[in-house]
Homo-oligomer: A and B are copies of this chain.
């Protein structure tokens, strides 16, 4: 199978390296920035491309791992690729139809994880959500996904975008809470490192306890005295509004636990 990857970002890098380790090397890497294509292509022993027209017309699998709003134009730029090729995108919030409107064989492989280029990851534990326009495409994307992950599940576009939404809460918003903590500590000249044990423990707790039951602190207890004192320590209006909204939402979530 001749496999091509379009994109060289965090996800494209981790995914293609996991595929390589699983015995599925990509033979072409595209990025509009040649140096980026080259960097990943070197690791793969693949050709680096900076023009979509140079993607082999006889490719069997084309993995599109680019920004959400760039997927459509990538598909348009790959019209020369043979009609039997399977086009796969990796985005949480993009429906399969963005591919299937143009391609007979379309599929999605969405790995639910946050990727940084500099940090190694065990791909085998990453939940991967797949779907496809037909049985052949589904079979191929399933086989591919199961070679790199032990947690492959079928999910249609509507379910997948809910999963992505949940991830925005559990990952992006949680990380932003870390950021705001860092900001508060910085003002006191304190190192963010002191937060690492409580961050780790908070994340580990929900492995065995539901987040509702794991909740602690002044907001669950609706401890108005502490909360007013804490709000008075904040000068940033956005942080005050966030504090108030979080207090309201936490209290509401915990009143019936």
A residues adjacent to B (C-beta < 8 A): 10, 67-69, 93, 112-116, 118-119, 121, 125-127, 151, 153, 159, 161-182, 184-185, 187-188, 190, 192, 194-212, 214-221, 223, 225-226, 229-230, 233-234, 238-239, 241-243, 245-246, 248-250, 252-253
CB of A108, distance to nearest CB on chain B (Å): 15
Cβ-defined contact, B93 with A190, below 8 A: no
Q: Which residues of B contact A241 (CB under 8 A)?
A: 245
Are A180 and B175 interface neighbours, CB within 8 A?
no
Query: Are B161 and A233 in touch, CB under 8 angstroms?
Result: yes
Taking a contact as CB atoms under 8 Å apart, the answer to whether B121 and A201 are in contact is yes
Protomer copies:
2
Asked if B69 and A225 make an inter-chain contact with CB atoms under 8 angstroms apart, the answer reads: yes
In the complex with contacts A68-B226, A93-B230, A242-B246, A162-B184 CB distance below 8 A? yes
Name 23 interchain pairs, CB-CB below 8 A, sorted by A.
Answer: A68-B225, A112-B194, A114-B216, A116-B205, A119-B204, A163-B194, A165-B233, A166-B185, A167-B195, A167-B198, A167-B217, A168-B219, A169-B177, A170-B177, A170-B202, A171-B201, A171-B216, A172-B218, A173-B242, A173-B250, A179-B212, A200-B203, A239-B249
- Cβ–Cβ contact A116 & B253, under 8 A: no
CA distance A187 to B166 in the complex (A): 11
Most B Cβ at <10 Å: residue of A116, A161, A179, A250: A179
